[in-house]
Amino acid sequence: MSKKSAKGGKNSKTSKDEPITNPIPNGPVLVDAKTGNLIVKILAKPGAKASGITDVSEEGIGCQIAAPPIDGEANTELIKYLSKLLDLRKSDISLDRGSKSRQKTIVLDKTGCRHSPEQLLTIFRTEAATGS
């Protein structure tokens, strides 16, 4: 029975470790557990008259982009707009996923970005409220 107890103890430790290493994603701004970089989910709307944040939801940050979705122009404009909005260098922002999709994942380098996820959400919500 002591062997079964030991196995039960190991399994309980393993189950405790899993939630820590694999946090459940919550909201549009996350912290990458491995690198510490901030991850922002973007719902892009290219071809707008002006770049701006349209809404903030659990699925992502709605962002209209003043560039057509041709040859990566909208992606470049999105990076440029976010760098200006968040007061970051363009080199601190990278497009991780969604180069040809409206659903994009942006990574903010932890060394260049001094904002917390809560501060980012506040910036995005303020911009969405003033842009409307």
Could you tell me the domains of the chain? 29-131 (3.30.1200.10)
Task: Spell out the per-residue pLDDT of the chain, length 132, in tens.
Answer: 555 544 444 444 444 444 333 444 568 999 999 999 999 999 999 999 999 999 999 999 999 999 999 999 999 999 999 999 999 999 999 999 999 999 999 999 999 999 999 999 999 999 999 975
Q: What span, in angstroms and rounded, lies between the C-alpha atoms of 37 and 54?
A: 24
pLDDT score at 28: 96
pLDDT score at 41: 97
The answer to whether the beta carbons of residues 41 and 60 sit under 8 Å apart is yes
pLDDT score at 82: 97
pLDDT score at 132: 55
CB atoms within 10 A of CB 58: 9
What is the pTM (predicted TM-score) of this model?
A: 0.78
Q: For residue 68, what are the contacts with CB-CB under 8 A and spacing of at least 6?
A: 46, 47, 74
Q: For residue 90, what are the contacts with CB-CB under 8 A and spacing of at least 6?
A: 79, 80, 83
